[in-house]
């Protein structure tokens, strides 16, 4: 006995963007009846949306007859696939805020040179590491 699946639409999620899954139709039609088609379909889907959403998995499964568990297994096995969108910062665009620590070291390294930077750190990990503590601290 097969259990009827309840359709889940990306638009039902709170704070989600509306996704037009009909964009996948030409991709699915191109690879639908080819052996070993799953990776190609997942790659093209990620090329279109930047990641593979839950609703994209469901559409691909419905249109190709591939099992969701098989598709998810392949997508999580290979590191090339993203199941979540890239983090968005200011104006809903990715930012370099996570790289501020790296950017902060660049002027010193350019001014003093890589050999001077390599004098710091350990034998295996050359250079300095800037770190920051963030919380509500009491200033002494």
pLDDT in tens, 55-106: 999 999 999 888 899 999 999 999 889 888 876 666 666 565 556 666 777 7
The reported pLDDT for the residue numbered 75 is 92
The reported pLDDT for the residue numbered 43 is 92
Where are the domains positioned within the chain? 10-77, 87-140
The reported pLDDT for the residue numbered 7 is 55
Q: Is the pTM of this model over 0.75?
A: no
Q: Note the Cα 23 to chain centre separation in Å.
A: 20
Instruction: Tell me the mean pLDDT in the region 42-49.
Output: 91
Instruction: Tell me the mean pLDDT in the region 51-55.
Output: 91
């Amino acid at each position: 006995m097969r259990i009827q699946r309840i359709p889940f639409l990306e638009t039902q999620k709170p704070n989600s963007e509306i996704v037009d899954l009909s964009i996948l139709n030409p991709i699915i039609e191109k690879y639908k009846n080819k052996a070993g088609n799953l990776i190609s379909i997942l790659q093209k889907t990620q090329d279109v949306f930047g990641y593979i959403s839950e609703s994209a998995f469901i559409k691909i499964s419905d249109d190709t007859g591939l099992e969701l568990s098989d598709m998810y297994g392949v997508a999580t096995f290979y590191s090339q696939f993203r199941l979540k969108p890239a983090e968005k910062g200011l104006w809903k665009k990715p930012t370099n805020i996570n790289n501020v620590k790296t950017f902060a070291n660049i002027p010193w390294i350019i001014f003093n040179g890589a050999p001077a930077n390599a004098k710091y750190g350990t034998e295996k990990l050359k250079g300095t590491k800037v770190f920051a503590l963030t919380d509500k601290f009491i200033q002494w």
